């Protein structure tokens, strides 16, 4: 009993501790306030994780995203409603402005309610395409729940994402045999030229998008099929604002949290509650948040390696603004990762690298940064290198962008100058110059010797010469 109690207490503490790194004000936009009960478990989970949830209908006063030019909320959750318009507060311009101010948005879709035009055009602008047919939903004749959708095949049972190649933290990875129920989802496709977009959950290979109201016998020219279709997609903007599109709003409803389903005759329990927690946690910046602390660079005299003093790391005014070409430089940067309620040291995932660029227009050096010290709240990454034989204005730049981690892009500008006239090596230190130097001195010595001989040799007898000519 005590064991159970302490387990529950731990679970409760764990839930409470996972706070968002960017504020806790959450606006839930829901048209029919009576539907709130359907989502009570999900909203309760959010509150347990420290969010101050405020549910508003789209036309009410409280839905204004800004107050005095500042964000009035940190995060927004849009639940589907009946009306086609969302009102002036949630226009595409306001939604994008909200993201420019680093607000995060979780958009949920449903084939029963036409997606509001402002959402469709906002998503289109971000490179996320929805089917033109507003009633389309994703169907799969192989991976469906035979208990709840024996006829329609529109409740998909999808395996929990296996490790995703681009999810360096394996954040969305679930138990190997986990199954997620995706009831009546609106599929999305991603514009494939945007590095900001990443799929979180793809449809199975046998799925396709289909409009059940379409009377035709065969589906002609479907919107998308198989893994082209995303059930959950993510966008992280350059300023690290996050937007996630959840194809199926029903996934958030109580009835699918740990629901019993049947896949090909076998009973399974869906892991929706866990998956939805991960998706919302990522969207609302509870995880995958990096922070750059101090940044330090200095001339390291020769081979002397300074030991990093972690308690007094980098007073930034220490950083020189000018370096000479071909001198040894050390660069240190402090990076932290959000750990639910505080910042802790950030460790680079395996198979990944953090790099420093020393660049003037294009990088002259791109070298690895390696962890050299660790404090309570950060890891200090270091690189040692020689400035290139090129003078000009250079940048120290750390540009680390990975899907599902906030972007790190830090730049420090420095000048790299030539040797000063008294900094060149002396001529006798250059072995290649020795033949010329010795040539000069041999000439000088020869000239002096000649002079000495010439000055001290006695003149010839002139009289004798005169006699001979006469
Ligand atoms: C590190 O910096 C602190 C604060 O300036 C100082 O008290 C301490 O002596 C330094 N430690 C070393 C090893 O230099
Ligand atoms: C630094 O870490 C300590 C414990 O490791 C934590 O208590 C503290 O809040 C952290 N500071 C910040 C600014 O996150």
- Please write the tens of the pLDDT for every residue from 178-199: 889 999 999 999 987 788 999 9
Atom of ligand 2 at shortest distance to CA of 336?
14
Can you tell me which residue has the tokens 């003093």?
309
> Which protein residue's CA is at the shortest distance from atom 9 of ligand 2?
342
User: Is the pLDDT confidence value at 88 over 90?
Assistant: no
Determine contact, residues 295/316, Cβ cutoff 8 Å.
yes
| Mean local confidence (pLDDT), 88-97 | 91
For the chain, give every domain's residue range: 18-283, 290-417
Determine contact, residues 351/401, Cβ cutoff 8 Å.
no
User: Is the pLDDT confidence value at 302 over 70?
Assistant: no
| Mean local confidence (pLDDT), 158-172 | 79
Name every residue whose Cβ is closer than 8 Å to that of residue 343 and which is 6 or more positions away in sequence: 291, 336, 337, 377, 378
* Residue 280: DSSP 8-state: H
pTM of the model: 0.83
When pLDDT is cut at 50, 70 and 90, the band that residue 315 belongs to is low
Decide whether any atom of ligand 1 lies within 6 Å of the 420 Cβ: no
User: Is the pLDDT confidence value at 100 over 90?
Assistant: yes
Continuous segment of H or E residues that includes residue 258: none
From the centroid of its chain, how far is CA 452? 81
User: Is the pLDDT confidence value at 211 over 90?
Assistant: no
User: Is the pLDDT confidence value at 165 over 80?
Assistant: no
Can you tell me which residue has the tokens 């909320």?
73
| Distance from residue 306's CA to the centre of ligand 1 (Å) | 13
Atom of ligand 2 at shortest distance to CA of 377?
1
Q: Which of 296, 305, 306, 309 to mutate to test the pocket of ligand 1 (most atoms within 8 A of CB)?
A: 309
**% of the chain beyond a pLDDT of 90:** 50
**pLDDT for residue 85:** 81
Instruction: Look over the chain and give the mean of its residue pLDDT values, rounded to a whole number.
Output: 86
Determine contact, residues 122/131, Cβ cutoff 8 Å.
no
> Which protein residue's CA is at the shortest distance from atom 5 of ligand 2?
376
Decide whether any atom of ligand 1 lies within 6 Å of the 315 Cβ: no
| Distance from residue 451's CA to the centre of ligand 1 (Å) | 68
Q: What is the pLDDT of residues 323-378, one digit of tens each?
A: 999 999 999 999 999 988 899 999 988 778 999 999 999 999 999 999 988 888 89
Q: What is the pLDDT of residues 27-66, one digit of tens each?
A: 999 988 888 999 999 999 999 999 999 999 988 888 899 9
Domain 290-417 has CATH 3.40.50.300: no
Decide whether any atom of ligand 2 lies within 6 Å of the 343 Cβ: yes
Decide whether any atom of ligand 2 lies within 6 Å of the 341 Cβ: no
Q: What angle do CA 409, 412, 418 make, to 5 degrees?
A: 140
Plot region of 453 (φ>0 → left; ψ -120 to 50 → alpha; else → beta):
alpha
When pLDDT is cut at 50, 70 and 90, the band that residue 252 belongs to is very high
| Distance from residue 342's CA to the centre of ligand 2 (Å) | 5
* Residue 48: DSSP 8-state: H
> Which protein residue's CA is at the shortest distance from atom 5 of ligand 1?
312
**pLDDT for residue 12:** 43
User: Is the pLDDT confidence value at 242 over 90?
Assistant: yes
DSSP alpha helix (H) spans, 231-291: 272-283
Q: Which CATH architecture has domain 18-283?
A: 3-Layer(aba) Sandwich (3.40)
**pLDDT for residue 3:** 46
Atom of ligand 2 at shortest distance to CA of 342?
14
DSSP alpha helix (H) spans, 313-430: none
CA–CA separation, 98 vs 23, rounded Å?
Answer: 14
CA–CA separation, 240 vs 288, rounded Å?
Answer: 10
Decide whether any atom of ligand 1 lies within 6 Å of the 312 Cβ: yes
User: Is the pLDDT confidence value at 466 over 80?
Assistant: no
When pLDDT is cut at 50, 70 and 90, the band that residue 215 belongs to is low
| Distance from residue 17's CA to the centre of ligand 2 (Å) | 13
Decide whether any atom of ligand 1 lies within 6 Å of the 453 Cβ: no
């Amino acid at each position: 009993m005590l064991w159970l109690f302490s387990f529950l207490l731990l679970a409760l503490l764990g839930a409470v501790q996972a706070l968002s790194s960017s504020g806790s004000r959450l606006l839930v936009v829901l048209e029919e306030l009576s539907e709130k009960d359907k989502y009570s478990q999900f909203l309760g989970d959010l509150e347990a994780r420290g969010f101050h949830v405020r549910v508003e209908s789209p036309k009410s006063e409280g839905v204004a995203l800004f107050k005095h030019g500042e964000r009035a909320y940190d995060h927004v959750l849009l639940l589907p409603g009946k009306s086609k318009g969302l009102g002036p507060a949630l226009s595409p311009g306001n939604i994008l402005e909200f993201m420019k101010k680093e607000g995060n948005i979780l958009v949920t879709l449903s084939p029963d309610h036409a997606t509001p035009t402002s959402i469709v055009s906002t998503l289109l602008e971000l490179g996320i395409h929805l089917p033109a047919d507003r009633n389309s939903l994703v169907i799969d004749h192989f991976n469906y729940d035979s208990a709840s959708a024996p006829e329609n095949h529109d409740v998909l049972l999808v395996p929990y994402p296996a490790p995703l190649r681009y999810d360096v933290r394996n954040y969305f990875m679930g138990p190997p045999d986990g199954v997620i129920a995706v009831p009546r989802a609106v599929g999305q496709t991603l514009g494939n030229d945007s590095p900001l977009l990443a799929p979180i959950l793809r449809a199975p290979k046998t799925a396709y998008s289909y409009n059940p109201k379409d009377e035709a016998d065969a589906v002609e020219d479907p919107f998308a099929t198989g893994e082209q279709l995303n059930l959950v997609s993510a966008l992280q903007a350059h300023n690290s604002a996050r937007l996630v599109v959840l194809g199926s709003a029903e996934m958030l409803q109580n009835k699918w949290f740990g629901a019993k389903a049947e896949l090909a005759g076998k009973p399974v329990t869906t892991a929706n509650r866990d998956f939805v927690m991960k998706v919302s946690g990522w969207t609302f910046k509870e995880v995958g948040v990096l922070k750059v602390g101090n940044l330090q660079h200095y001339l390291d005299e020769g081979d002397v390696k300074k030991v990093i003093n972690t308690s007094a790391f980098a007073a930034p005014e220490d950083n020189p603004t000018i370096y000479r070409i071909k001198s040894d430089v050390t660069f240190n940067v402090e990076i932290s990762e959000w750990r639910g309620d505080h910042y802790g040291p950030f460790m680079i995932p395996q198979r990944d690298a953090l790099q420093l660029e020393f660049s003037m227009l294009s990088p002259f050096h791109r070298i690895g940064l390696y962890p050299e010290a660790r404090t309570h709240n950060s890891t200090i990454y270091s690189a040692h290198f020689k400035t290139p034989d090129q003078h000009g204005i250079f940048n120290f730049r750390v540009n680390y962008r990975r899907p599902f981690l906030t972007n790190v892009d830090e730049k420090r500008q420095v000048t790299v100058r030539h040797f000063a006239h008294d900094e060149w090596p002396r001529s006798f230190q250059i072995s290649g110059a020795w033949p010329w130097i010795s040539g000069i001195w041999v000439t000088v010595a020869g000239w002096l010797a000649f002079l000495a001989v010439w000055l001290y040799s006695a003149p010839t007898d002139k009289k004798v010469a005169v006699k001979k000519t006469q």
